[in-house]
Structure 1
Amino acid sequence: RELRNVIEYIFVMRGEAAGINASHLPPYLLTAADGRKTTITAQPRQLASKGKQAEREAIENVIQRLGSSVEGKKQAATELGISIATLYRKIKPYDL
């Protein structure tokens, strides 16, 4: 549940910007238990590619499960919490 909350936070804070970086993480993740700032070592491109890969896999899994018909895609969009237009926009670059 916490991972889902962090991912939702990132997508809200990221807006329309391409990729994600440490500035998009919730502040509590950037502070160690003893109060010192932690260092994020992953490169921004790696984070962006992992985010895109996770998004692609999520969309692909839902479409495989619900079907690629118009009705299946409507259900997939609802399940993913996005509009049908957003789903189609995200499907196109992934060639799903």
Structure 2
Amino acid sequence: MSVYSLGIWIVKPGREGDFVEAWREMADWTTREMTGGEKGTLLRDREQPNRFVSFGPWDSVEAITAWRAHPGFRERVGKLREMLDDFSPTTLDDVST
């Protein structure tokens, strides 16, 4: 079974386009530089258009931990946080497919 990273992102009004662009850059960097993960998915809430949810599968919790501890991740999330009102990251286990 896989383990997943998940983020809930509440973007400051008017910054949605900038956020999507920066998130894509982080996802591309992750795919290029990190092992153990697959390309992530970013979804936008239809009823609350400044709310986004991202998720992606990983081989292990250790791979997620290494990704989140990497200076490149911290730098990119720091830039994203400038556009956010709130960010909630979590790690989830696949229990049924």
TM-score normalised by the chain length of structure 1: 0.33
The structure showing larger relative contact order (alpha-carbon pairs under 8 Å, at least 6 residues apart) is 2
Task: Select the structure that is richer in strand.
Answer: 2
TM-score normalised by the chain length of structure 2: 0.33
